[in-house]
Amino acid sequence: MSDVITVNASGLSCPQPVMLTKKALDGLSSGTVEILVDTATSRNNVSRFASNKGWNVDVEERDGGGYKLTLTK
C-alpha cells in the first residue's frame, strides 16, 4: 500500500480545487489521493474531474462542514 496523498483545497475559488486535483493526479497511474473541499460545488467539480480520469470517488462529509473525497485507482 503506497502513501496517501492529501490535498487541502478548502476555501479556494474555482477552478483551483480542480487544478490542485489535476496536479496531484498527473503522472499517477494508481494509488489513493484525498482531496479536502468546503463547498458542494467544489465537491461536484472535483468528483466529475476525477471520474472522467478513471478514478473511483468516495465522498465523505466532514465533521464541522466540508467534504473529504477519496480518489482511488
Partner 1 sequence: MDKALTSKHGPLIAGGLIGLIAVALAHFGNPGNMGFCVACFTRDIAGALGFHRAGVVQYIRPEIPGFILGSFLSAMMFREYSPRGGSSPAVRFGLGMFAMLGALVFLGCPWRAYLRVSGGDWNALYGVGGLAVGVIIGIVFLKMGFSLGASDKNPKASGLVMPLIALGLLAFLFIAPKFGENAPVFFSEKGPGSQHAPALMALAAGLIVGWLAQRSRFCTVGAIRDFLMMGDAYLLKGIISFMVVAFVANYALGTFNPGFEGQPVAHSNQTWNFLGMVLSGLAFTLAGGCPGRQLIMAGEGDSDAGVFVLGMLAGAAVAHNFSAASSGAGIGAYGIHVTVAGLIFCAFVGLFCRDRG
Task: Point out which residues bind partner 1 (CB under 8 A).
Answer: 8, 10-16, 18-19, 22, 38-41, 44, 48-49, 52, 64-65
User: How near is the Cβ of 40 to partner 1 at its closest, in Å?
Assistant: 5
User: How near is the Cβ of 14 to partner 1 at its closest, in Å?
Assistant: 5
Closest CA to 23 of 44, 47, 2, 5: 5
Kindly give, in sequence order, each residue whose CB lies less than 8 Å from that of residue 13, ignoring residues fewer than 6 positions away.
Answer: none
User: How near is the Cβ of 4 to partner 1 at its closest, in Å?
Assistant: 19
Please give the DSSP secondary-structure letter assigned to residue 38: S
